[in-house]
Chains A and B, each alone.
Chain A
Amino acid sequence: MITAGIDCGAKNTKTVILKDGEIIGRGVVLTGFDQEAAGADSLAKAIKYAGIGRDEIERIFGTGSGKDTVKIADDTVNDIKAMAKGAIFFFPGARTVIDVGAEEGRAAKIDDKGEPVDFAINEKCAAGAGVFIETMGRALGTPLEEMGALALTSEKEVPMNAQCVIFAESEVVGLIHAKTEKQDISKAIHDSMASRIVSMIRHIGVNEDVVMIGGVGNNPGILAAMKRELKLKKILFPGRPELGAAVGAAVAAVQ
């Protein structure tokens, strides 16, 4: 059976095609302002990658903040279910899933059957989402992709007081003016964001295995900071964490 999951996020729209429990296609495009087109484009990309025909896909499920705009989907699955199923797909032992994307953060507690039993969401404040690191990277003059690696080279504790993205931006500029080393500022940025995410997770409690999905999962600086903050030895993450929810939607389509 071949199914597809389309995760329409604030920044990127991701499609994953699943065949008998295996990922055979994926497509990622920028969401932009036309979410419907982004959904169709990412699906087309994934179909091309898989080398199959459009009619071979039996069912398509949409998820993510823009799921209702994805008209090509047969049905939608809520974000929490999608992230839980996505995490279980990669790591059957997952009990806590964290999904941090560009503009939202979510955490879900999963029971032994792989069903979400509790969750916490932050969609109101940008300080706990990917846009935080992106904005700080701009202030620091460092590309987003290099921010995490840069943070790992620092062992200093530089306190950051501001929680809000807007205030933190001024604070980062202040730190630059005070001649604080770039890597130390980057670490402070990651520590600050990690503590925001962790305070969200604490609402539902932490059970291992902890799995991180969403685009922010690509950032080694955040993973390291979260491990420190949660006092955990390991946080699991798939090779392409940003595809997690799309995989979950494709799994839901099978079921």
Chain B
Amino acid sequence: MSKETKQEFWQWTESNWVSPDINWRDAQFVTVGIDVGSVSSQSVIMADGQIYAYGNMRTGFGSLNSARKAYILALEATDGLPEGRLDYCIGTGYGRVNVPFADRSLTEIACHARGAHFIYGPKVRTLLDVGGQDIKAIQCDEKGKVTNFLMNDKCAAGTGRGMEVFADLLGVPINEVGERSFKFRGEEPAAVSSTCVVYAKTEAMGLLRKGWTTEEVLAAYCKAMAERIYSLVERVGVKAEFAVTGGMAKNRGVMDRVMPLVGLYRMTTEWDTQIAGAVGAALFGFALCKKGKRRKNRKFPWTR
């Protein structure tokens, strides 16, 4: 009997990582940042303000479990870091109130700016964060402090979730969307005209029926998403340097179409762009530790 499994095209790879150069035993303070987003959750463990380990995974049903799972994923990557060594934990993101073991929670706006400041360096002035369920355009100063921001979390158009739905519809694995959206012949197709993801799906089906290739439809959709994302950036205003965080930063199909609209190059990084929020949270924790703050209630383990 053959077993048929439906391929989940929207699935992206969950990962964890540990720094080969850092030994937690030498650190004065070990802090944790946990970013529970609506679609993905990340945890970052920092040793004296340097990224030591992280875990990045999909948010399941119930933020509570997701916070714990992301934390365990990062902990598993470490070289036997005992939980008792953890000095401070900050939760952030959409599900930040559901990080039961966090000492405090901070908004993801502040954490993303702080995290981008670390990942991209202090030159960042405009930060675009395109996550699973929202788009944020943030302006920050040389210290990574937020000076202005705008956010869209009401509509899936332009968000990662919208792209997942589309990848599934077209049967293209989500991590191939970017590259394939440039593999069309001749001129680049015009953007799909529907803003709403639901209508764009209908429109895309019509285009396929008219004989468009999958790549052409992808190009038209990536273009529409780029225009949608740029409209938010435009409203908050653009100041150099420009950096992008969140999962969409990995999608060249959208980002290479946003940047000509912005009129700047985007900064590059070796880090996973999805961890910025959690990095910011862990950094805030480190700053508090230096000021003398400690966990009041060291109730372990967090893994259960």
Q: Which residues of A contact B (CB under 8 A)?
A: 10, 33, 103, 124-126, 131, 135, 163-167, 170, 173-174, 177-178
Contact = CB atoms under 8 A, between A and B. Distances in A.
B155 A163 contact: yes
Given A135-B198, A164-B197, 20 more contacts: A10-B202, A124-B195, A124-B199, A125-B155, A125-B196, A126-B197, A126-B199, A164-B155, A165-B196, A165-B197, A165-B198, A166-B156, A166-B162, A166-B197, A170-B38, A170-B161, A174-B61, A177-B61, A178-B61, A178-B62
Contacts of A124: 194-196, 199
A33 B198 contact: no
A143 to B, nearest CB: 19
Interface in B184-226: 194-199, 202, 206, 209
A126 B196 contact: yes
B251 to A, nearest CB: 17
Q: Which applies to chain A's interface (DSSP): helix, strand, loop or mixed?
A: helix
A200 to B, nearest CB: 15
Interface in B160-201: 161-162, 165, 194-199
B126 interface: no
Contacts of B209: 33
A199 to B, nearest CB: 12
A64 to B, nearest CB: 16
Nearest to A135: B198
10 contacts: A103-B199, A124-B199, A125-B196, A131-B198, A135-B198, A165-B156, A165-B198, A167-B156, A170-B38, A170-B161
B206 A33 contact: yes
Sorted nearest first, the 6 A-B pairs with minimum C-beta distance are A166-B156, A126-B198, A177-B61, A164-B156, A126-B196, A164-B155
A178 B154 CA distance: 23
A68 B38 CA distance: 42
Interface-centre pick from B133, B155, B194, B195 (highest chain A CB count, 10 A): B155
